[in-house]
Amino acid sequence: MILEIRDIYSYYGAICALRGVSLEVTEGEIVALIGANGAGKSTLLMTLCGVVRARRGAVIFDGEDITRRPTEKIIRSGIAVAPEGRRIFPHLTVRENLQMGGLASRDPERGAAGTAKLAHKMEGVLELFPRLRERLAQRGGTLSGGEQQMLAIARAMLSEPRLLLLDEPSLGLAPLMVRQIFTTIREINESHGTTVLLVEQNAHQALRLAHHGYVMVTGEVVLHGTGAELLANEEVQAAYLEGGRKETKQGETQQRETRQ
């Protein structure tokens, strides 16, 4: 078990945003966290990273309690996040954005050895995102929404995380780009062995991808199971899946038309 969240309570002022949330992430898996806007999904990721401090409960990463650690130490312990809204550096080039990701490495090196190691890691990331290779000298703010999302994930991967947190990676993207992003997430998990905790409103795509999933409603986990079990659950289907199915079918139709 690489991550255990035990009975977490988090607040914004007097407002309780997370109420006794518990979940587990097994190393090597993709775990999806789904729910409507305001369910507490992003708050859970921020609590995990120490941006929001839990008032009760514990976050255990790789057997160690990180609940009270500073955010920078949590990140350097082997956790990386591609946040909602991407939050790339718009005035820096793609190359410079990626280099910033390398600074969060667990074992940063200085001098020529560090430069060579960063170049090697960047090459590996660019194999995942070949479109970024074509835009290395381009400013991040001039990229399309999908390319910016690629850059946000690629930047997170430069730190070689053991656990990758993805917050709404498909938000605002066209169906074809959503499909590409989810394909890359699977490749990151299968080829790199990176464990992924995925927060996503596109429940259909997320649960198709995930080994296990959790459903959040108003700050609480109300259901959990394998991705297949949640896909088959009538309550989940009624609440979250119809729109996702329609979007997936639209994307597949567009892809067929593009090929013709």
Whether 150 is in a domain gets the answer no
Whether 7 is in a domain gets the answer yes
Q: Which of 41, 120, 117, 132 is nearest to 81 (CA)?
A: 41
Residue 99: its pLDDT value, please? 86
Whether 62 is in a domain gets the answer yes
For the chain, the distance separating the N- and C-terminal CA atoms, rounded to the nearest angstrom, is 46
Residue 174: its pLDDT value, please? 85
Asked if residue 65 lies in contact with residue 58, where contact means CB atoms within 8 angstroms, the answer is yes
Whether 230 is in a domain gets the answer yes
Whether 247 is in a domain gets the answer yes
CATH number, domain of 226, equals: 3.40.50.300
Residue 246: its pLDDT value, please? 47
- CA dist., res. 194 & res. 247, Å (int): 27
Q: What is the pLDDT tens value at each position of the chain, 260 positions in all?
A: 999 999 999 999 999 999 999 999 999 999 999 998 889 999 999 999 999 999 999 999 999 999 999 998 999 899 999 988 778 889 999 999 898 877 666 565 565 666 677 777 888 888 888 889 989 999 999 999 889 999 999 999 988 899 999 999 988 888 888 899 999 999 999 988 999 999 998 899 999 999 999 999 999 999 999 999 999 999 899 888 765 444 444 444 444 444 44
Alpha-carbon distances of 200 from 107, 203, 223, 251, rounded to whole Å: 30, 6, 15, 17
Whether 204 is in a domain gets the answer yes
Number of structural domains in the chain: 1
Please tell me the pTM assigned to this model. 0.85
Residue 257: its pLDDT value, please? 43
Domain range for 229 is 1-78+198-260
Whether 205 is in a domain gets the answer yes
Residue 120: its pLDDT value, please? 78
Whether 70 is in a domain gets the answer yes
